[in-house]
Amino acid sequence: MVDLPDRIKKVDLSRVMKTSFLDYAMSVIVARAYQMYVMG
């Protein structure tokens, strides 16, 4: 197996994608809800 340089970390891609998607989805929901709240 190839040794990785110190600045490169191994990550669980499925976890990163799941977290990123949930963060994005929540930001969209909040932005739309706020827009509806402001407009009445």
Q: What is the pLDDT of residue 14?
A: 96
The domain in which residue 17 lies consists of 12-40
Q: What is the pLDDT of residue 36?
A: 86
Helices (H), 1-40: 13-39
Is 7 within a domain?
Answer: no
Single-letter amino acid code for the residue at 1: M
pTM: 0.60
**Residue at token pair 């340089």:** 5
Number of domains in the chain: 1
Mean pLDDT value of segment 1-30? 90
**Residue at token pair 């190839």:** 2
How confident is residue 20, by pLDDT bands cut at 50, 70 and 90? very high
